[in-house]
Amino acid sequence: MKIKKIYYFFVIILNFFIFTNVSLGNNHDSYLKQVYENLKNKKFSEAINELQKLSEKNNPKAQLLYAKILYSGEITTQNFEMSYFWANTSKLGGVKKSSNILNILDNLIDNENKIKINEKIKIFLNKLALSGNKLAIVQIAKWNLELSEEPNFENAYKWYNIAVALGIKSAKIKRDEMLENIEKQRLFEIQKESTNIFKKINNQGD
């Protein structure tokens, strides 16, 4: 029975590396390769610690793998809350396959706790965004549309506006789409807020 469980666990890990297109030549993903090597060599503590660090540094692929391990409970205790946290963060980071584990977790977590976890995701991403993490800036914009109790188009516009100003061209279409849902009398104030945050982010290196 134990052998079957270990085999099943490594099938999950292997599928992750095959289907998320981890490039071993990419320096960012080379850390994930080390995680895989640690898992393969049964250095589970090292693998988990590295995955947690990568997830906290906002590596979406690491976040998905960490979410899968936290859900499986094979080499660490099963933790649906944190699995949901990292799977959602990964999805906001553009990893579409995160939806698969979120679909499973959907019936395991009640709505009240989902709201609480989503708020924790917001705090996590907001801190990263204010530190200048470009991916987190896009993620917090998405959060306001996908994980907020009600879509917040004003906040989404604010963060997409900052993203475009920081050179994230892919955010321009989404920024402009938000304008259709914002009252004109509120627009100038939201733009001022964007400008203030943008200046704070840019001045951090001074």
Residue 203 has a pLDDT of 83
Give the pLDDT confidence of 24-37 residue by residue, as tens digits.
345 556 777 777 77
pLDDT in tens, 94-103: 999 999 999 9
Residue 167, classed as helix, strand or coil, is coil
Maximum CA extent, the chain: 65
CA distance 166 to 193: 15
The reported pLDDT for the residue numbered 179 is 95
Confidence of residue 47 (pLDDT cuts 50, 70, 90): confident
pLDDT band (50, 70, 90) for residue 8: very low
Tokens (6 digits) for 70: 């936290």
pLDDT of 48 higher than 60: yes
Sign of the C-alpha dihedral, residues 130, 119, 68, 53?
Answer: positive
Report which of residues 39 and 173 the model is more confident about.
173
By the 10 Å C-beta count (0-12 exposed, 13-18 middle, 19+ buried), 1 is classed as: exposed
| Model pLDDT for residues 102-132, shown as the tens digit of each residue | 999 999 999 999 999 999 999 999 999 999 9
